[in-house]
Amino acid sequence: MSLQVDKNLLDALIDTETLYQEAPCGYVSLLPDGTIIKLNNTLLTWLNYTTKSLLYKKKFSDLLSKGGKVHFEMFFKPMITVRGHIKELSYEILKKDGSVLPVLLSAKAMKDALGSVMAINMAVYDITDRKSYEVELLKAKKTAEDEKRTFQFLADLIPEMIWTANADGDIDYVNQRFVQYFNLPERNFNLSSVASRIFKEDRKKFLNAWRESIRAGTDLHIEIRLDNYQGNSEWHLIKAVPYINQDGLVTKWFGSCISTEEHIMALKAKDDFISIASHELKTPITSLKGTLQLMDKIKNNHPDPLLHKMIDRANRNVNKTISLIDDLLNVSRINEGQLYLNKKRSVIFDLINDCCSHIKYETGYDILIEGDSSIEADIDEGRIEQVIINFINNAIKYAPESKLIEVGYEKNGQHVKIEVTDKGPGISPEKLFHLFERYYQVKNNSSGNAGLGLGLYICAEIIKKHNGKIGVKSELGKGSTFWFTLPANM
């Protein structure tokens, strides 16, 4: 009995005529010649017609636009007769007021035992919103294409080489300057063909750096030599930045190749001059230093205090000059690949403490050392002392009001990290990137003479020789932290 009740309930719920009439899509049935013999209220409402005005009085093709009528007679009817069904044909139906309703039609033929078409049932789907989306999409596509053409036009005017790559790093666009520099027959080429134009000794370095940027999604910034179409090698700065979408995924790379040949050649000429000059100055300065040391020993026997001051001042100035010459000689050794290390196992605390003791005595600054006294590393003590002293002297020079300088160190995995922190005015973000470049000087009104701009460059090369990393973090008004890492003993 309960099963009978359930069936009655279902029969009451399922009103097929209501489902047909009020369906979210239109339904219409046609005779083989296209005469309308049945349609639902949904379609009538869309078209604003009455049943009487359409049933057996109009053919479906009468409701179509001129092009639609031709297509319906020449394509729809033959296909439904042969295939018996049709899916999603696009038409425009004219409403009673003459306006257009874009629709998709799907149809199925009812055939007799002999295969002749008796009637055609069609489902009609309103695609007005879809058409609007398509129009907006076409507009957006046209706008994007216009912007792309504008970008390419501007890129072709730029004297530097401009290029883009997809998320995987495959180059998909280069500007006209790029084509001209390499004398390329076309703009479509892959990374391997571009890599062949990289100077052989720089190729592996670039490919490794590029792969790492793609893997990590970080900026590429590397200086390499490129071979132009004449086979001449010229220095270029290669930059690439990732475009990250709203989901945090890299979808594009934008890059440039800027010639630094003149800059590199100017630096080389400067280095050559400095190398020669520093070697020439070394001998007379050493001789002068010896003379002053002798005078320093006999000054106590002379009663004139002015002489004492003059000898002390001369010693300080000679020491500064020797320090500058040593920097220049170090740069010369670095450029010639002759910066050698004499490594031995060293206790980091003892090394730092030795560095800081005389600085505290001479300057009066309070230097706080924090770290585990058992940490050791294989290092060239003299070179690492040079780095730490440079960091501390910079803190004193550029943050003179920060009387407390913190030197911290810790072991992190397979590396030891050493930091020197001051509470000075900080360094502006645009300068941070250049601090470790050769001859770069940070101008500071309180620091007086800024020096040669070689100290941090030499530090970076020393740490690189130790297979470590070097860097700085700074916030204006709060201070700066210079740091470097060293491989730790396991």
- Mean pLDDT of the region 286-293: 74
Query: Strands 233-244 and 344-347: what pairing?
Result: unpaired
Predicted pLDDT of residue 279: 64
Using DSSP, state whether 13 is helix, strand or coil.
Answer: helix
Give me the residue spans of the domains in the chain.
7-126, 135-263, 265-336, 344-487
What are the CA-CA distances from residue 98 to residues 43, 338, 386 (Å)?
A: 15, 88, 88
Using DSSP, state whether 242 is helix, strand or coil.
Answer: strand
Predicted pLDDT of residue 289: 72
Predicted pLDDT of residue 335: 64
* 344-487: CATH class: alpha beta
Could you tell me the two tokens for 442? 């940070």
| Confidence category of residue 275, pLDDT binned at 50, 70, 90 | low
| Residues above pLDDT 70, as percent of the chain | 86
Predicted pLDDT of residue 336: 61
Burial class from Cβ neighbours inside 10 Å (0-12, 13-18, 19+) for residue 486 reads buried
Using DSSP, state whether 241 is helix, strand or coil.
Answer: strand
Burial class from Cβ neighbours inside 10 Å (0-12, 13-18, 19+) for residue 375 reads middle
Predicted pLDDT of residue 1: 44
| Nearest of 335, 342, 296 to residue 315 by alpha carbon | 296
What is the pTM for the complete model shown? Answer: 0.47
pLDDT tens for residues 380-412?
Answer: 888 898 899 889 888 888 888 878 889 999 998
Distance CA(31)–CA(60), nearest Å, equals: 10
Q: What phi and psi, each to the nearest 5 degrees, are found at residue 341? A: -115, 145
Taking residue 170's Cβ as centre, other Cβ atoms within 10 Å add up to 10
pLDDT tens for residues 317-373?
Answer: 777 677 667 766 666 666 666 677 788 898 999 999 888 877 776 666 888 899 998
- Mean pLDDT of the region 64-87: 91
Q: Give the architecture-level CATH label for domain 135-263.
A: 2-Layer Sandwich (3.30)
> Per-residue pLDDT for 6 more than 80?
no
Do the domains spanning 7-126 and 135-263 agree at the CATH topology level? yes
pLDDT tens for residues 96-147?
Answer: 999 999 999 999 999 998 889 999 999 999 988 888 888 888 888 888 888 8
Distance CA(328)–CA(454), nearest Å, equals: 8
| Confidence category of residue 304, pLDDT binned at 50, 70, 90 | confident
Predicted pLDDT of residue 281: 67
Number of alpha helices (DSSP H) and beta strands (DSSP E) in the chain: 16, 17
Could you tell me the two tokens for 261? 């040949």
CATH hierarchy code of domain 7-126 = 3.30.450.20
| Confidence category of residue 283, pLDDT binned at 50, 70, 90 | low
Q: What is the DSSP letter of 75?
A: I
Burial class from Cβ neighbours inside 10 Å (0-12, 13-18, 19+) for residue 475 reads exposed
CATH hierarchy code of domain 265-336 = 1.10.287.130
